[in-house]
Amino acid sequence: MGSVLAVLVLLFTGPAVSAMAQEESQIARATIAAQASASTLLTTPANFEVDAMGLAEALRLLQQTSGVSLIFSESLLPDDHMVVCDCGDVSVETALDRILAGTDLRYAELRSHIVIEPREARGPAPLPEEVTGGIEGTIVDAQDSRPLAGVQVEVVGQNRATLSGADGRYTLADLPAGPHQLRIQRLGYATITRSVTVATGEIQVVDIRMDPTALSLAEVVVTVTGQELRRSVANAVGTVGSAEVERAAVTNVQDLLSGRMSGVTVLGNSGQAGAGGQIQLRGVNSLTQGNEPIIYVDGVRVFNGRTATSVAGRQYLSPFNDIDPSDIERIEVVKGPAATTLYGTEASGGVIQIFTKRGREGPAEWSAEITGGFNSMGAIGPSSDPTGLFLKDCQGVFESGVGQRFEDPTCPSRGSWTGLGSIQRYALSVRGSEGSVSYYVSGNMSRERGVLPTGGNDDAGIRANIDFQPAERLNISVNSSLVKRTVEWYPDGLSANGTLLNISRGARSNFTGGTGCSEPDVLCLQNAEIFNTDSYTDTHHYIIGGTATLRPFDGFTSRLAVGYDFTSADISTIIPFGHVRVSDGQYWQTLWERALLSVDLINSYTFSFGDSFTSTTTFGGQLFDRRSQSTDLQASDFGGPGTPTLTSGALRSISAARDTRVINAGFLLQEQIAWQDRVFLTAGVRVDGNSAFGTDFGLQAYPKTSLSWVVSEESFWPEALNSEVKLRGAFGESGKAPGAFDAVRTWNPIAAEDGQAAFTPSQLGNPDLGPERTRELEVGFEATAFDGRVDVDYSYYRQRTSDALIPVNSPPSQGFSAAQLENVGEIFNSGHELMVGATLLRRGDFEFAGRLRYTSMYNEAVDLGGQVITITTNARTFVREGNPVPSYIGRRVTNPDEFADPIFEEDAYLGSPFPNRIISPSASVRYGDWLTVEALGEFQRGASLLNAVAHVNAWQSGWRPCFDVQDKLRAARDGDASALNDVTAIERARCTITGGNRDFSNWVEASDFFKLRHISATVDLPSDLVPGLNRTSVMFAARNLFRSTNYTGTDPESADQRESTFSRRDYYVIPAPRTFTVTIRTRF
């Protein structure tokens, strides 16, 4: 397994910048005084110079240059106050003293914000006590019940307003008795209006739960250069917050991304607990180097691939899924080369950034989570098969399509091979601060059983995130996590011992020769022996990293991040001695390791010039050192029963051994010019070198440029819309490096005459080999309107991958048998991404909101040098010019609906394995402060899937939809031609009884589907129900509850991954089950 180098590393923690502009403000003096005594934000360098600028604009500029959040209300600022301040080398405190001089305003620090308000509360003269009352309450985030500070609460028409304090509480006193309208506002949250009747001499309690808006231009996002306000970012950035994580009822990050962002394709491959899926951002742009996005966790780059596949399970694990969802604060996704240029080589597939929870100011707060539930198999196979491919009904005597009667006495007593698989999950965490140190520490464990007699996932993990400030200008954060996982696989997919392969074939199962059947003349099966196999994947995953952020002088920030990610896996399959099919036993083992060391140094300098301009220059470098090791071992023919070892087999072999190291290093430079904090022009370049490049290739440069314009802040924009609108456009390039040995000349070792060592030529080598380059243009806009009740995010992109790495065969005369990668290909992609959200109804305590995400993608192999590239022959998956990458290509029936013999077109395009349209609707209903119901669905359109289950079972007279057709084909063969009068050409091709007419191509089917990904109902219990608990909720959830499709195989997302992870075919893979859970969460 190797040892892990404990690297103290440093993680990015710069100040969270958020602009908070409110309509009116007044805050409790006692709260301000208490917070002011512990001031730290006021000492931050201002980096601020202005000359004759309006007060509101000057305060917004100060936020940007200092990174400090200011809360103020423009309506309370004097209109005629002009600011002149040479504050480039002073603190925020000194800058505010100068800016506010001559006004009736004051400032004070409130937790992570600085509040600016009138020195005296504004309002009408107090009314007599006998005709007044008041309103008070607490304001919290509706998603996680966190108290919200700095929320403006205004009494409409009364010229009265206040801000909520650090504990979320607010008070409005001396209000006239009678009805009033409250308007509650905070940037980043939907505005709320409440009707309240104030009674004479009484205080009305009005507690508020505020919903975050999906889009806020004040939101902070993280790029390779550091934290930036969303308003300045000219690329689409998808986000998922912690509240969405809680209500999604998912077990891994892969499921969390499914259906929640436009431009993201997630395909689950299998129903095996713990199995990984496929994630693509904006489709396929590489033929040979993978399309996985690169992944960062808390600023540390981690391995973004997959483990080796299990021999029996024929699936892999994704280390990406080792991050426990309960630890996640948010996820950010940038989807194209125009956004990922500065991430350099390997970033053309996009970037996923995961940020885990961190400490908070204040005393320790504990959170506990307990989940219980079960998995249950849903519909499987064609609707005309009531047995569910004999998985759901296996008891009794059945008959094949040719009249062969069979029975399986080993069928479980419940009459089904599937049952309920239990689910248990536990999580405990604590977060808080002690002095200048804040912390988040968590632990979790889970146990999930599948729906078959064997199979399941067990994992446990711990995490510790620590932030501290050892010096005034130095911040340090350290992050570490450890996850141990064990997956038990049941035999699956295209395996002679596979579960579905044998059970679904009925009389053609490989497990015959059973005893105990009810009738003497039936074929007796013993499929229970399928599960007499031990197959496990055991993994250990360590991540340690951190960031040191230093501000040596005003305006300059330097950030050093170092990270180490290590994953090891022991993947084994044991068929024991005495097995029904393999009596002497077999043993396969793969020892697999991946390690990634990353070093990241980024520096930036920000200064203002002129009256309206701000410059931010960023420069730095990155180093990635990636090591991979794996060894495949095999043994067979054990001498007797017992627990075997590799050395107890009579035949032993090392079938493969791999040990590679790839180093990528690069430097970057970026300049951003901001005008009046609403127009942002950015240009940059990344230059990389990679050890996998050819020796004569040299360095690779990737340029970028972008423009972001917050047009809603222009004077011509209609104020009636109460909106924020940003227009954006970006152009950029990023790459994908070749593999470790793709550029070098290689030879294969062989045994020559008399066993002497020898070798043969293999790969020619290419000293000029370089990375693929993907160039992208992206344009779009983001908008919110009507107090955050409507939000829209749209993007259009065009990508072109040039110098695509294509395998080219050498002339035989050169003597090299293996194809050599060359930079000769070209791939084109384009697409539209749209997200529309709206609060459709808000009446009293009832609220109904909806969201729609739409993705369309176009993909084409433009230039392959005239060749057709084979991905998997039996899966009929190839890459051909003019078709999507990849494509099903084979024999097509040109007259599918005619009542005639099929007419075939050879080498025809049959479809693409990946969808080109994804539509994800979601809806939420909230009633009062105690009930939230959510649902998420997903349509995938435009994909096809090779139904290999039907292809093989039909030939073996075991595919029920073919029974009637095959009877008619046999009748026609025997001389009754009229038997085929009502049999279509496609039915004759698929259900053929003539060996020469069989072809996998006949079973490439459209795999369009709709799935209800999840539905949940969360009940928030009263806070005083249990003394000592701050918040307790109970969530009832279900996943994969409903599916609609015309696809006739096991499931339109199923795919055997043993032979290829790029091609897809439904080859006896058990699909994902339905999941039902109940989760209790509490804080104390």
Q: Where in the chain is the domain with CATH 2.170.130.10?
A: 220-356
Task: Give the helix/strand (H/E) hosting 969.
Answer: helix 963-973
* pLDDT the model gives residue 636: 94
Q: For 830, how many CA atoms within 13 A lie in the half-sphere containing its CB?
A: 5
Question: If pLDDT is split at 50, 70 and 90, which confidence band does 1069 have?
Answer: very high
Task: Using pLDDT thresholds of 50, 70 and 90, give the confidence band for residue 128.
Answer: low
Distance, in Å, from the CA atom of 795 to the CA atom of 728, rounded to the nearest integer, reads 9
Q: Distance between CA atoms of 162 and 1023, rounded to whole angstroms?
A: 25
- Look at domain 220-356 and name its CATH class: mainly beta
Give the residues across from 429 on adjacent strands.
367, 442
Q: Between helices 55-66 and 92-99, what is the axis angle to 10°?
A: 170
**CA torsion, points 522, 526, 527, 529, in degrees to nearest 10?**
-170
Buried/exposed 292-320: b ≥16 CB within 10 Å, e otherwise? bbbbbbbbbbbbbbbbbbbbbbbbbbbbb
- First-last CA distance in the chain: 39
| The token pair that represents 186 in the structure block | 């905070």
Q: How far apart (Å, rounded) are the C-alpha atoms in residues 45 and 65? A: 9
- The answer to whether residue 122 scores a pLDDT higher than 60 is no
Amino acid in position 823:
N
pLDDT per position as a tens digit, 731-770: 999 988 888 888 888 888 887 777 788 888 888 888 888 8
CATH 2.60.40.1120 range(s) for the chain read 20-210
Q: CA–CA separation, 445 vs 428, rounded Å? A: 9
Strand-pair category, 294-297 with 351-356: parallel
Give the helix/strand (H/E) hosting 953: helix 948-955
| Cα–Cα distance, 420 to 449 (Å, whole number) | 8
Residue 131: how many CA atoms within 13 Å on its side-chain side? Answer: 4
Contact criterion met (CB below 8 Å) for 476 and 470 = yes
pTM of the entire predicted model? 0.82
Measure the CA–CA gap between 74 and 117, rounded to whole angstroms: 10
pLDDT at residue number 215: 58
- CB-facing half-sphere around the CA of 324: CA atoms within 13 A: 27
Question: What is residue 1004's predicted lDDT score, i.e. its pLDDT?
Answer: 96
Q: Alpha-carbon distance 491 to 534, whole Å?
A: 9
pLDDT per position as a tens digit, 499-526: 999 999 999 999 999 999 999 999 999 9
Per-residue b or e along 2-33, where b marks 16 or more CB atoms closer than 10 Å to that residue's CB: eebeebebbbbbbbebbbbbbebbbbbeebbe
Dist. CA 784–CA 722, nearest whole Å? 8
pLDDT digits (tens, 9 = 90+) for 607-625: 888 888 999 999 999 999 9
Contact 111, 127 (CB under 8 A): no
pLDDT in tens, 11-66: 222 322 232 333 333 333 333 333 333 335 787 888 877 777 888 888 888 887 88
Q: Which whole number is the average pLDDT over 288-298?
A: 88
For 933, phi and psi rounded to 5 degrees? -120, 130
The model's pLDDT over 653-710, given as tens digits with 9 standing for 90+, comes to 998 899 999 999 999 999 999 998 889 999 999 999 888 888 878 889 999 999 999 9
Task: Over range 336-345, report the average pLDDT.
Answer: 81
DSSP-derived letter for residue 159 is T
Instruction: Measure the CA–CA gap between 10 and 548, rounded to whole angstroms.
Output: 5
Q: Answer for the pair 694, 767: CB distance below 8 angstroms, yes or no.
A: yes
- Give pLDDT, residue 964: 95
Summary mean pLDDT of the chain: 86
Distance between CA atoms of residues 241 and 252, nearest Å: 15
* Stretch among 452-461, 545-554, 743-752, 996-1005 having the lowest mean pLDDT: 743-752
Asked if residue 864 lies in contact with residue 326, where contact means CB atoms within 8 angstroms, the answer is no
Helices (H), 483-538: 499-503
Paired tokens of 140 = 């919290």
Domain 20-210 has CATH 2.60.40.1120: yes
Q: Which of 133-137, 172-176, 633-637, 881-885 has the lowest mean pLDDT?
A: 172-176
* d(C-alpha 687, C-alpha 701), whole Å: 4
Which pLDDT does position 765 carry in this prediction? 85
**Distance, CA of 355 to CA of 440 (rounded, Å):** 12
C-alpha span between 88 and 247 (Å, rounded): 46
Contact of 1082 with 1031, CB cutoff 8 Å: yes
Q: CA quadruple 482, 486, 492, 496: dihedral positive or negative?
A: positive
